[in-house]
C-alpha cells in the first residue's frame, strides 16, 4: 500500500513530497515527521527503501506507507495533553511521532501482539532519546508498550482521547473499538477497506468519515487458553508524574525559554538570521540558431530574450578549460543549544545526564 508520492533522497525530501501532495497539511504534523527519521526504524539492509512511499514488512516488523501515516496523523487531530492508544503499535514509529505532539502531560500507550516487535520498538525508542537532537526540541510523551491482543483489552481500562488501529477491523469489532473512546474523542482505523475517522460526539452519538481506500492485513483473532478464557490485556495505569520528573520538565522548559530570549536579543528583531546556502550565479550562453528556408540553409545569430549585454550583473562566460567546479558546501550540523546549555551548568554530572535523559546501558 502506498506509492502515492515520489521517492525522496532523505527524510526531509520525503516530507516535502508528502506536503506537496497534500498528505501533510498542518505544521504540528510536519514538525513531528521531520523530527524522526523514518530510516531509523528500518533494518540496516533495507534502509535504501526507507524514503519510498511504500509499506515495508520483514517477519513481524511492519511499517505502513508514509502517505498512510500522514493521513492518520492529520485525522487524529492531536493536541498536547491528550491520551492516545495505538492498537498494533509495531515499531513505535507512529507512537513516537504522536508523543512529540502530546507533550510531557499526555498519555501514550501501545498494544502489540508480538514480543519481538515490542523489543524492537523499545530499542528504537531508546536510540531516539539517546541520540537524536530532535528530541530536545520537543517536550516528549514517551510511549509505553504492552504485549497482547488488542481485541482482549480489559473492560475496566480507562478510555482514551485518541485511538488508532493499525490493522484491518472487521465490522463485528467496530463497537468494541468505539468503546475504547472518550466522549469527544477520535478513532481512526481501517474499516471495510477504508481508512475511517469516527468522532464520538456524545455517549451514544458518532460521526463517521471515510478518508481513503486502503488495504491492511486483518486483525488476528484472539486465541483462547486451554481453560477457554481469554487473556485480558491490562493497559498501563494513568500514573501521576513524580516530583522528580516534574522538576526535570520545568528546568528544561526554563532553559528553552532562556535560549529563545538569547536568540531574540542576538537577532534584534526576533528573527533568527540563519546563513543561507550561497547559490551559484547563472551565466547565460549566447544562442546560435540555424533556420531552414525552402531546403536552403540560412545561418544567423538570433538573440534570445536573456541575451542582454547591458546587464551589469552578468559576467563574461569563462572558457570551459578555465571553469573550475565549485566546491560543494556542506551545511554545518545543527547546534543542540539545550544540550550545550545543560552541560555548561555548574551541576554534578549525574544531574546533567538526568536533565538530558541520558540512559546508561
Q: Measure the CA–CA gap between 213 and 204, rounded to whole angstroms.
A: 27
Q: Measure the CA–CA gap between 128 and 133, rounded to whole angstroms.
A: 9
- Segments of the chain assigned E as strands: 56-58, 61-63, 83-87, 107-112, 144-147, 160-165, 181-191, 194-202, 205-213, 289-293, 296-300
Q: Give the number of C-alpha atoms closer than 13 A to the C-alpha of residue 340, restricted to the C-beta side.
A: 6
Cell numbers at residue 19, please?
506536503
To 10 degrees, what angle do helices 337-344 and 243-267 make?
110
Q: Measure the CA–CA gap between 261 and 200, rounded to whole angstroms.
A: 42
Cβ of 124: how many Cβ atoms within 10 Å? 18
Kind plus residue range of the DSSP H or E element containing 111? strand 107-112
Count Cβ atoms within 10 A of the Cβ of residue 182 and give its class: 0-12 exposed, 13-18 middle, 19 or more buried. middle
Is residue 6 a contact partner of residue 52, using CB atoms and an 8 Å limit? no
Nearest CA to 211 among 193, 236, 235, 184? 193
Residue 292's SS3 state is strand
Catalytic residue at 64?
yes
Strand partners, 207: 199
Indicate which residue of 64, 70, 83, 95 is catalytic. Answer: 64
Is residue 140 a contact partner of residue 100, using CB atoms and an 8 Å limit? yes
Q: What is the set of active-site residues?
A: 64
Amino acid at each position: 500500500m502506498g506509492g502515492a508520492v515520489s521517492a525522496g533522497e532523505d527524510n526531509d525530501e520525503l516530507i516535502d513530497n508528502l506536503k506537496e501532495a497534500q498528505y501533510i497539511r498542518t505544521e504540528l504534523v510536519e514538525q513531528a515527521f521531520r523530527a524522526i527519521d523514518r530510516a531509523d526504524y528500518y533494518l540496516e539492509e533495507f534502509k535504501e527503501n526507507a524514503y519510498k512511499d511504500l509499506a515495508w514488512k520483514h517477519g513481524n516488523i511492519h511499517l505502513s506507507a508514509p502517505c498512510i501515516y500522514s493521513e492518520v496523523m492529520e485525522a487524529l487531530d492531536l493536541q498536547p495533553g491528550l491520551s492516545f492508544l495505538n492498537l498494533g503499535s509495531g515499531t513505535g514509529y507512529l507512537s513516537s511521532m504522536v508523543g512529540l505532539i502530546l507533550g510531557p502531560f499526555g498519555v501514550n500507550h501501545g498494544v502489540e501482539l508480538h514480543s519481538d516487535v515490542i523489543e524492537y520498538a523499545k530499542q528504537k525508542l531508546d536510540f531516539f532519546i539517546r541520540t537524536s537532537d530532535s528530541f530536545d526540541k520537543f517536550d516528549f510523551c514517551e510511549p509505553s508498550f504492552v504485549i497482547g491482543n488488542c481485541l482482549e483489552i480489559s473492560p475496566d481500562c480507562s478510555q482514551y482521547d485518541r485511538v488508532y488501529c493499525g490493522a484491518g477491523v472487521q465490522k463485528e469489532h467496530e463497537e468494541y473499538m468505539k468503546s475504547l473512546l472518550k466522549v469527544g474523542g477520535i478513532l481512526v482505523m481501517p474499516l471495510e477497506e477504508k481508512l475511517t475517522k469516527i468522532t464520538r460526539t456524545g455517549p451514544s452519538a458518532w460521526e463517521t468519515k471515510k478518508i481513503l481506500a486502503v488495504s491492511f492485513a486483518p486483525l488476528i483473532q484472539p486465541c483462547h487458553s486451554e481453560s477457554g478464557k481469554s487473556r485480558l490485556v491490562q493497559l498501563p495505569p494513568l500514573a501521576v508524574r513524580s516530583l522528580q520528573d516534574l522538576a526535570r520538565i520545568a528546568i528544561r522548559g526554563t532553559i528553552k525559554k532562556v535560549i529563545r530570549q538569547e536568540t531574540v536579543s542576538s537577532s534584534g528583531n526576533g528573527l533568527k538570521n540563519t546563513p543561507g546556502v550561497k547559490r551559484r550565479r547563472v551565466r547565460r550562453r549566447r544562442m546560435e540558431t540555424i533556420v531552414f528556408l525552402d531546403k536552403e540553409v540560412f545561418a544567423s545569430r538570433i538573440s534570445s530574450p536573456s541575451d542582454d549585454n547591458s546587464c551589469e550583473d552578468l559576467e563574461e562566460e569563462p572558457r570551459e578549460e578555465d571553469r573550475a567546479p565549485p566546491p560543494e558546501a556542506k551545511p554545518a550540523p545543527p547546534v543542540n543549544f539545550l544540550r550545550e546549555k545543560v552541560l555548561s551548568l555548574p551541576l554534578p554530572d549525574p544531574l546533567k545526564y538526568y536533565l538530558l535523559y541520558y540512559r546508561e546501558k
